[in-house]
Structure 1
Amino acid sequence: MEETVFFNLGNALAAKRDPKELIKEAQIVKDTRDPLGKLVIVEGEGKETLILFDLADQEESSETTQPFTVKKILD
């Protein structure tokens, strides 16, 4: 099931082309953040780049947000 979420690109925690590298980055970020928070990996423009966001930073659709397709949610 495909889900679209809206984020301000300025809230991105990391962006990588290699999914394995982004997972490593997510583990590092998760160790330094609130343990109850969730991180989400989304597809960037052109589906070549994966972007890491904190799910708590999700926003309603507006002129300052962009739609992204969720690839993976990390608990």
Structure 2
Amino acid sequence: MTLDSAVLRFAGVVVLVSLLLAHYVHPNWVWLTVFVGVNLVQTSFTGFCPAAMIFKKLGVRTGSAFH
């Protein structure tokens, strides 16, 4: 698994979990989905991704998931 695919999988899982929590627990969980979306947009402009930094420290190899 590459760094790009790890970040995308993590973002997707967080979005799905937050939507489930918003539906079954409390509607305010939707703000976690908003946070993930804003973070993805800011990463596309700045290249700075906190999740990528954490995955790098965990030893996920760098590279593109899209060849």
Q: TM-score, normalised by structure 1?
A: 0.29
Highest relative contact order (Cα 8 Å, sep 6+), 1 or 2?
Answer: 2
Higher helix share: 2
Rg larger for: 2
Report the structure, 1 or 2, having the larger strand content. 1
